Amino acid sequence: MTHRRVWVYFLLFIYNAICYIDRLNMSLCGHTVAEEFHLSPVALGYLFSSFLWTYVVMMLPGGRLVDGLGVHRMAWIGAAVWSVAETLGGAAVGFGTLLLTRLGLGVGEAPAFPVCYRAVREWGPASERGRAVGVIAAGALLGPGLAAPALAWLIHATSWRWSFVVTGLIGLVWVVIWKALVSTPERTRWIPEQERSHILAERYAGDPPPAHGGVGYRGLLRVPSMWGIAISQGCAIYSLYFYLSWLPDYLETARHLSILRSGVFTAVPLFAGSVLVVLVNWIGDAVLNRDTMRSGRRRLVVVASLVLTSAGMMIPFVDSVGLVVLLTILPISFSQTVTATNAALTSDLLRSPADAGRAFAVMVLGGNVFGLLAPIVTGHIVQATGSFTSAFVLAGFLALFGSLVSLLMTRQALGEVAT
């Protein structure tokens, strides 16, 4: 039997990579933009987090649109919106106009993760769910890892403005390719009939969905598991956005590296993480069976990954820059592993496919409520203390708290009974 569905996973991997490249771009430009526009660390922190304001506001509407319009439509619509906003960032004339383009980026990216996670649920048999989500999630690290040195060189050789233009145009190219090639599994013409039948038979673990048409946001939020997933996701995303937003600036200001060396050193943990997120979720699929998936046993992977994420709190206490870079592999790799594993865990616990976009939207919303605070809180900490130490420690303690929440709260099915 063929496995042509992997091309859909690959396009979503690229989609996720572009999404995170556009986020990281602001971080790589941050030091240069701050000098040109005379911004304080607090103002820079707000600029780093600004796309998350509209991202969070649009998350629940975005999840509902994914359920209503379908993955294949919302993927290209969202990517088109965020890519145009990214391109316009290159024309910013000050803090205000650059802020507006980042808000536009957040609007377009809001459906991105509900799109990815629901796509895996629609296109993949349950037995490959963790691997598929892991591969797609790896794009969030491998894409920026590949792009960080190239963008750092582009900023150094030309200006930060060209980095916005180039990354925005890459997203628009993806829109054209996706729109031309991908529809639903039922209607995508290049999928052979035998593979199509296999996808349709196995994508919900072979179980018929419940008779009701979904429980909606209210029904999902009545289950402790939904809150446990959202909170643990938030603790992971706090660390991820802290590192993605502030690591280049930390390496330049606290460790006195050039922008070129900062870009290269930022890429190292991103490359390592892209491998680990796939490997960990592949192991999860290998050791879980239908019953352990349905009972939420995948949460143990989330718990272990959050404990490893917390090791980042040691970074400010080591002297060697090389050791700093090695230590950043743990929080960046395993915080992203949590985001992928929580998506697979949500699918494991979810009973009605009609609620898929909404459940993933709640998960991502929980993550990004915490995430939008990370750049802002860090900016205030750095300005108040003149140091990054407390920021690293705070991220580590949040990761430990998230591991406890996941262990205790993510045990019940989601949307099993209509309310």
Task: Quickly list DSSP for 36-61.
Answer: HHT--HHHHHHHHHHHHHHHHHTHHH
The answer to which of 280-294, 321-335, 398-412 has the lowest mean pLDDT is 280-294
Rounded Cα distance, 212 and 197, in Å: 24
pLDDT at residue number 127: 78
The domain total for the chain is 1
Residue-range definition of the domain harbouring residue 184: 6-409
Find out whether 361 and 60 touch, Cβ atoms under 8 Å.
yes
Find out whether 406 and 299 touch, Cβ atoms under 8 Å.
yes
- The answer to whether residue 125 is domain-embedded is yes
The answer to which of 60-74, 96-110, 301-315 has the lowest mean pLDDT is 60-74
Measured from the Cβ of residue 64, the count of other Cβ atoms closer than 10 Å reads: 17
- The answer to whether residue 328 is domain-embedded is yes
- The answer to whether residue 347 is domain-embedded is yes
Confidence of residue 68 (pLDDT cuts 50, 70, 90): confident
pTM: 0.74
Rounded Cα distance, 399 and 377, in Å: 16
For the chain, the average pLDDT equals 87
Whether 89 shows a pLDDT value over 90: the answer reads: yes
- The answer to whether residue 418 is domain-embedded is no
- The answer to whether residue 1 is domain-embedded is no
- The answer to whether residue 415 is domain-embedded is no
pLDDT at residue number 384: 93
Task: Tell whether the torsion through CA atoms of 359, 361, 362 and 367 is positive or negative.
Answer: positive
- The answer to whether residue 225 is domain-embedded is yes
Question: Could you read off the pLDDT of 259-275 as tens digits, one per residue?
Answer: 677 777 777 887 888 88
**Where residue 61 sits, what CATH number does that domain have?**
1.20.1250.20
What would the mean pLDDT of 346-369 be, rounded to a whole number?
85
Whether 217 shows a pLDDT value over 90: the answer reads: no
pLDDT at residue number 355: 83
Question: Could you read off the pLDDT of 158-209 as tens digits, one per residue?
Answer: 989 999 999 999 999 999 999 999 998 888 989 999 989 888 887 765 555 5
What would the mean pLDDT of 388-401 be, rounded to a whole number?
96
